[in-house]
Amino acid sequence: MFNIQQSYDQAAKHDALIIGLFEKKQLTNTAQEVDGFLDGQITTLKKNKKISTKRGKVTPLYTLQKIECDVIYIVGLGKEEELDAEGLREVFAAAGKKAGSDRSKNIAIDLDSFRSEAAELEDLAVLAGESLALSTYQVADYKEKTNEVDVSIEEVTFYAVSGTEGLVEAADCGFAYGKGANRARKLINIPGNLLTPTELAKEAKELADQHGFEYDVLEKEDMEKLGMGALLAVAKGSDEPPKMIVLKYQAKETWDDVLGFVGKGLTFDSGGISIKPRENMHQMKMDMGGAAAVLGAMDIIGEMKPDVNVLAVIPSSENMLNGSALKPGDVIRAMDGKTIEVRNTDAEGRLILADGVAYAKQLGATNLVDVATLTGAVLIALGDCTTGAVTNNESFMEEVLEASVETGEWIWRLPSYKPYRDMLKTSDVADLNNAPGRLAGSITAGLFIGEFAGDTPWVHLDIAGTAWNSKPNNLCPLGGTGVMARTLAQLAMNREEIE
């Protein structure tokens, strides 16, 4: 898909050419060559301020067949000293979305024109590949007639005068990360009647077959034998059978030092007996965003093949209400033997994750990250742009934070002091209370899961605020974001370097 050229050929056939333009910087060699073929139009328009250098502003320039390229997109980059990795994602996405919407299949990028002190060519290639994948993702609809435009880009040529070694591999890496996030987005956006726990298990099996992962799924009978009373209790209110989905990626000879991902796979959440308000309940198809992130990460890992062992565990069910449904006041027993008083049936994610985390430990996970759309409280605390985190191990938390910085997916660590943990012990009839109150709701929810991680280094990621995008932008349309798929994959890649 990606290839490199050092100089521009007037006869090179591209549907579109993308050139970045800083506020105060001369045209690159490639841009000058193209400008010459166009009789100096770029220089003239730039001089007359007909081309905007405002960051993310795309100005189309039609070539009128003077070169074998239909259109040139001049992308404003703003001030060079202010353009960071996040800004580069945005400008590449702006150009990619424009090229995709114009149905450009074969595009070229003057990579030198995006170069600055903050980003070398290899970084630019990674960001370009990732952003092109993310910006051209489209949410599937189910209309009888659709005006959906195919925005897939099939070939990308980078123009760079020097330093081109490794650029194709870098771009492939970025594109793999973007595709993994898009896989997570696709799953989140599927309606709940079409993505049941059974269908989610099929999606995981398809992923396993694609990359050669070991695959297993526990059925209800298996869960009963293992004593997974928390997951089974949540599933009681639904006609859909629960699933415990397992993927194993083993890159080492022995199954030790295993990085474990546990994703909440609640394919629809009504709240159960503690039913949710009707407003926006339709969006609760996204309550399996944690599972989607884990599967997206495994897709990336399958492509990149790091030299680490990775385990993915997805407890999956629906949270519905019928005559058998879990009730407030019920006492249930989790897989590890702890008893739980259910004060709120809408605090079900932590219940299924309790068994998921315990099972991941049983399968050999030595480090654990759970990902879940867990609490509305995290939106109050951090809004919709930052994921909340709770941990029992500071050094492992730093690894996760480092990975999140590299992928531009923001995480904020929440405190886990003893008074918060004590709030979980406020039941008179059970070991744990699943919903001790509104105070510190995101913290106590995370720490509840931590009770089942024990001494295993563990990080909880609450993506309730970041899993769904209600403000479409160039990097992500309305709907699922696929957040944390890239961060989890990057964590695995970084652990390969540590080892």
What pLDDT, in 10s, does the model give residues 158-208? 999 988 899 999 999 999 999 999 999 999 999 999 999 999 999 999 999
Q: What residues are paired with 260 via a beta bridge?
A: 311, 368
CB atoms within 10 A of CB 12: 16
What pLDDT, in 10s, does the model give residues 391-419? 999 999 999 999 999 999 999 999 999 99
Determine the pLDDT at residue 147.
61
Q: Is 84 annotated as a binding residue?
A: no
Determine the pLDDT at residue 163.
84
Closest C-alpha to 132, from 154, 110, 112, 165: 154
Q: Is 287 annotated as a binding residue?
A: yes
Catalytic residues: 276, 350
What pLDDT, in 10s, does the model give residues 358-396? 999 999 999 999 999 999 999 999 999 999 999 999 999
CA dihedral sign, ordered 93, 95, 98, 99: negative
Closest C-alpha to 241, from 188, 312, 320: 320
Determine the pLDDT at residue 24.
85
What is the model's pTM? Answer: 0.96
Average pLDDT on 56-67 reads 94
Average pLDDT on 229-249 reads 98
Q: Is 346 annotated as a binding residue?
A: yes
- Domains of the chain from N-terminus onward: 2-161 (3.40.220.10), 179-498 (3.40.630.10)
CB atoms within 10 A of CB 271: 18
Cα separation, 34 vs 224, whole angstroms: 68
Check whether 310 has a pLDDT greater than 90: yes
What pLDDT, in 10s, does the model give residues 315-344? 999 999 999 999 999 999 999 999 999 999
Check whether 498 has a pLDDT greater than 70: no
Per DSSP, the three-state class of 73 is strand
Backbone phi, then psi, for 319, in 5-degree steps? Answer: -115, 95
Amino acid at 142: Y
Determine the pLDDT at residue 499.
56
Check whether 282 has a pLDDT greater than 80: yes
Q: Is 240 annotated as a binding residue?
A: no
Share of the chain above pLDDT 70, in %: 99
Determine the pLDDT at residue 144.
79
The pair of structure tokens assigned to 260 is 């474990």
Cα separation, 123 vs 352, whole angstroms: 39
Cα separation, 453 vs 193, whole angstroms: 32
What pLDDT, in 10s, does the model give residues 33-49? 999 999 999 999 999 98
Cα separation, 154 vs 135, whole angstroms: 14
Mean pLDDT, all residues of the chain: 95
Average pLDDT on 291-300 reads 98
